A and B are shown apart, each in its own frame.
Chain A
Amino acid sequence: EVRLVESGGGLVQPGRSLRLSCTASGITFNTQWMHWVRQPPGKGLVWVSRINGDASETRYADAVKGRFTISRDNAKSTVYLQMNSLTVDDTALYYCASPRFGGYFDYWGQGILVTVSS
């Protein structure tokens, strides 16, 4: 059984930083592309970032480029999202997601809430 478990969310003030983690099990982690997708309260899904298996390629949505950094530790089967200079618009449920083969997401974590507020 594939499991993706996010952690590290919480309440943070605008301008501060937070690091999310997603630990995977049941998959061959070091070959898996890993993604972050977020969902603002009451709204739809928004793709945020992705990283390939050996961390040689990363991509970001324009809304987070230059502020967020995705990374991974294959020895720990964990992907990270370092979020800096947070704004209220970053408030969302953040999902870790992974495709088996293509660009669609077979596997999802349960989500972790990030609230940016003063």
Chain B
Amino acid sequence: EIVMTQSPDTLSVSPGERATLSCRASESISSKLAWYQQKPGQAPRLLIYGASTRATGIPTRFSGSGSGTEFTLTISSLQSEDSAVYYCQHYNHWLWTFGQGTKVEIK
């Protein structure tokens, strides 16, 4: 099983500032990584796939980068509505696994 580890657990950022979230895979997953946003009481929403491709309708302030074992989700200018938990997920192997999540708070 590929273990996905996210850091930090919680990130507090002021509106308009940049938020940088990290995700590390226990072995190489090429670019087969997705990011999701989950707000309280809602289902997850796909933000990024292929490590760096934004899903349909996702604002350009969200960007993804990385390959192999190290990945980053960047929110370039944090908005109040971006307060949520963010999960990474690999799909390099049929046994899909998610990271434990990073909670982004608005300072």
Residues of A at the B interface (CB closer than 8 Å) are 35, 44-47, 50, 59, 61, 95, 102-106, 108-111
A39 to chain B, nearest CB (A): 9
> Residues 20-52 of chain B: 1 if any A CB is under 8 Å from the residue's CB, otherwise 0?
000000000000101010100001111001100
Beyond A45-B44, A104-B49, list 15 extra A-B contacts (CB 8 Å): A35-B96, A44-B87, A45-B89, A45-B101, A50-B94, A61-B95, A95-B43, A95-B44, A103-B34, A103-B92, A103-B94, A105-B36, A106-B46, A106-B55, A108-B44
Query: In chain B, residues 31-86, which have Cβ atoms closer than 8 Å to a Cβ of chain A?
Result: 32, 34, 36, 38, 43-46, 49-50, 55
Can you list 10 A-B pairs with a CB-CB distance of less than 8 A?
A: A44-B101, A45-B36, A45-B89, A47-B98, A95-B44, A102-B50, A103-B91, A104-B49, A108-B44, A108-B45
Residues of B within 8 A of A108 (CB): 43-45
Residues of B within 8 A of A104 (CB): 34, 46, 49, 89, 91
User: Chain A interface secondary structure, helix, strand, loop or mixed?
Assistant: loop
A105 touches B44 (CB 8 A): yes
A110 is contacted by which of B43, B45, B50, B101 (Cβ under 8 Å)? Answer: B43
B99 touches A44 (CB 8 A): yes
Residues of B at the A interface (CB closer than 8 Å) are 32, 34, 36, 38, 43-46, 49-50, 55, 87, 89, 91-92, 94-101
Residues of B within 8 A of A95 (CB): 43-44
Minimal Cβ-Cβ distance residue in B for A107: B46
A83 to chain B, nearest CB (A): 19
A113 to chain B, nearest CB (A): 12
Residues of A within 8 A of B91 (CB): 102-104
Q: Contacts A45-B44, A108-B43 hold; do A102 and B49 have CB atoms under 8 A apart?
A: yes
Query: A103–B97 Cα gap in the complex (Å)?
Result: 11
Residues of A within 8 A of B98 (CB): 44-47
A47 touches B95 (CB 8 A): yes
